Amino acid sequence: MFAKRESALAAAAGAAPQSKLPRLSLAPVVDALKRPPVAVGAAGLLLLGTVALFLTVLGDPTAGTPSARAALHRETHAPAAPEAPTGMEAFGMGGDWAAWQTLGDPNADPALSGAAGGDALITLPDGATVAGGGAFTAPKRPAQPLVSAPIAGLSQPGPNGPLPTIAADGRVPAQAYARPFRPNGKPRVSLIVGGLGLNAVTTRAAIERLPAEVTLSFVPYADGLQGWIDLARAQGHEVMIEIPMEPSGYPDNDPGPQTLLSSATPDDITARMNWLLGRATGYFAVTNYLGDKFVTSDNGMAAFLSVLRQHGVAFIDDGSARRKPGAWARASADSIIDETQTPAFIVGRLNALEARAKATGAALGTGFSYPVTVEAAARWTAGLDARGLQLAPASAMTQRPGR
């Protein structure tokens, strides 16, 4: 079969192919095109065909012209995390309170938590780490309760509430409400955490997660102030009340309606102190809130310290009134640990405080209750004993005038 097929193909190889289609004549078409209407129609069809062919072969006729292309994207921004409030904003009852109330709350919107300090991770000398987020990871401490307030004989009725007083037997609030302390011979370091009572989450965290030796300072304007003080003392903390004092730039910088003013008379200062001191019982001392302008007033400071001395209350300042003697007992902080609210800055200040205590025998620091401050302080204090230091309540740093 294959041989016959090859012979046939070889025989036909040299012959020209023969068409099997019928022959077509173009004469009728030429005759039709000679007619004018037909010629015009044919020309139009030819033009349309030419254009269609041109587009098909060459594509977009504007492809050769200069052009530019821009990609447009709809930007979606997550809500910006609010900055942690400054002490002025928190104490002065201003600012974005919805944001402030969620700082430190692990159940709050993640965009609102951790505003103080970012996400940096800092390693402490004992190997513990501190992050800038708002969630608290330091463990809760067991309670070491102090005597409940009020203690009999240490208060008297005042125009706005019970006022501290020196008892008939000579007992004073500065001693009776202070946390007992026994030195062990190691250098002493003390820490005050203030601005408490405004935010429930951070206030409770400071009370429960900081060692009982850390002194807590409460804002006099706080709702439920006595309840917070009672809770702090039940946990073992001695407490103070913050006294708003006139800062530079007042009244644009306004610490609140009961601010002590440098231009005030002694009677006005006494009246405002009666309101502030009558807000609660159980505190051993007061501390200043702001007041760089007020502390320069000799008359104002004299009236203020005189009130404290008469009531048997100590005064511990943030370092701005170091050369002002008075009150029943006095002390001044060596450092503010959280002027910048980042873990790195705070841990650096705490380490510097530790070094000062080792060099001089004692050091006192103070800070605001930012979540990052509470977390860093809780971690830092946990390793002090192993590093050769004794954590002491701030009352252990006070001295009577002239001593």
Q: What is the mean pLDDT for each group of 10 consecutive residues in the chain (403 residues)?
A: 36 38 50 57 60 50 46 43 40 34 40 36 50 74 97 96 97 98 98 97 97 98 97 98 97 95 97 98 98 96 97 96 89 97 94 97 98 95 95 96 60
Whole-structure pTM value: 0.71
The pLDDT score that the predictor gives to residue 332 is 97
pLDDT of residue 321: 93
Rounded Cα distance, 33 and 163, in Å: 122
Which superfamily, per CATH, for 155-397? Glycoside hydrolase/deacetylase (3.20.20.370)
CA distances from 126 to 236, 252, 382 (A): 25, 43, 9
What are the beta bridge partners of residue 366?
A: 192, 336
Query: Rounded to whole angstroms, what are the CA distances from 220 to 15, 193, 224, 241, 355?
Result: 119, 15, 10, 6, 33
User: Which pLDDT belongs to residue 323?
Assistant: 79
Residues 6+ apart with CB under 8 A from 297: 262, 263
Q: How many CA atoms lie within 13 A of 11 on its CB side?
A: 6
Question: What residues does each domain of the chain span?
Answer: 155-397
The backbone torsions φ and ψ at residue 291, rounded to the nearest 5 degrees and listed phi first, read 100, 15
